[in-house]
A and B are shown apart, each in its own frame.
Chain A
Amino acid sequence: DTEVTQTPKHLVMGMTNKKSLKCEQHMGHRAMYWYKQKAKKPPELMFVYSYEKLSINESVPSRFSPECPNSSLLNLHLHALQPEDSALYLCASSQDTGTSALRQHNEQFFGPGTRLTVL
Chain B
Amino acid sequence: AQTVTQSQPEMSVQEAETVTLSCTYDTSESNYYLFWYKQPPSRQMILVIRQEAYKQQNATENRFSVNFQKAAKSFSLKISDSQLGDTAMYFCAFSRGLASYDKVIFGPGTSLSVIP
Residue positions of A touching B, CB distance < 8 A: 4, 30-31, 33, 40-43, 45, 48, 50, 55-56, 90, 94, 96, 98, 103-104, 106-108, 110-113
Instruction: State how many angstroms separate the Cβ of B99 from the closest Cβ of chain A.
Output: 6
Among A42, A107, A112, contact of B44 (Cβ-Cβ < 8 Å)? A112
Beta-carbon contact of B89 and A40 below 8 Å: yes
Residue positions of B touching A, CB distance < 8 A: 43-47, 50, 52, 89, 91, 97-101, 103-104, 106-109, 111
Which residue of chain B has its CB nearest to the CB of A43?
A: B106
Beta-carbon contact of B103 and A56 below 8 Å: yes
CB-defined contacts of A104 to chain B, threshold 8 Å: 52, 98
CB-defined contacts of B97 to chain A, threshold 8 Å: 103
Instruction: State how many angstroms separate the Cβ of A8 from the closest Cβ of chain B.
Output: 15
Beta-carbon contact of A55 and B101 below 8 Å: yes
CB-defined contacts of A30 to chain B, threshold 8 Å: 100
Beta-carbon contact of B100 and A55 below 8 Å: yes
Among B47, B52, B107, B109, contact of A107 (Cβ-Cβ < 8 Å)? B47
